[in-house]
């Protein structure tokens, strides 16, 4: 069996990350609701923790595929990177489906949203400097 090219390796890792996300989306509703509640609590009470976990995601601590997804987001300044990264970390750290992560974010107060956004912006700026 030949050694896969870098592009093939990255495609395989991205496919595995997407399969992991599909598995999370298919978990029982009660489990997803519990994960959503945990993610909401983290976003509301400790935005620095969420930001730290996003930096871990960018550094590859959740695997190569999730890291590639995070780096694609960081490299896309025309998108809402804060929202995309918060949804992504909800999936890979808290096992909260993206749509449920968005619903959880909507429950935050305006000051909580601003604190979370500022913490994530700092991580994005650091990631951009590192590249």
> What is the rounded CA–CA span in Å between residue 104 and residue 45?
13
Question: From residue 30, how far is each of 20, 33, 36, 37 by CA, in Å?
Answer: 18, 5, 10, 11
Residue 49 near residue 118, CB atoms below 8 Å = no
User: pTM above 0.85?
Assistant: yes
pLDDT tens digits for range 55-109: 999 999 999 999 999 999 999 999 999 999 999 999 999 999 999 999 999 999 9
State both tokens at 84.
């995309």
Q: Give CA–CA dist 6/19, Å, rounded.
A: 20
Residue 111 has pLDDT above 90, yes or no: yes
What is the total residue count of the chain? 131
What is the rounded CA–CA span in Å between residue 66 and residue 89? 9
Q: Is the pLDDT of residue 26 over 80?
A: yes
The sign of the dihedral angle between the CA atoms of 125, 60, 37, 46 is negative
CA nearest 90: which of 45, 25, 26?
25
* pLDDT score, position 131: 76
Question: Cα angle at 20 between 2 and 116, to 5 degrees?
Answer: 125
Share of the chain above pLDDT 90, in %: 95
């Amino acid at each position: 069996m030949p050694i896969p090219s870098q592009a093939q390796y990255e495609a395989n890792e991205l496919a595995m990350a997407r399969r992991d996300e599909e598995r999370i989306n298919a978990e029982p509703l009660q489990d997803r609701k519990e994960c959503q509640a945990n993610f909401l609590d983290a976003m509301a009470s400790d935005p620095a923790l969420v930001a730290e976990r996003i930096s871990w995601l960018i550094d590859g601590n959740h695997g190569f595929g999730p890291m590639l997804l995070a780096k694609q987001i960081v490299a896309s300044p025309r998108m809402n990177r804060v929202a995309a990264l918060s949804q992504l970390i909800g999936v890979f750290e808290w096992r909260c489906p993206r749509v449920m992560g968005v619903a959880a974010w909507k429950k935050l107060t305006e000051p909580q949203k601003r604190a979370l956004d500022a913490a994530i912006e700092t991580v994005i700026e650091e990631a951009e400097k590192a590249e």
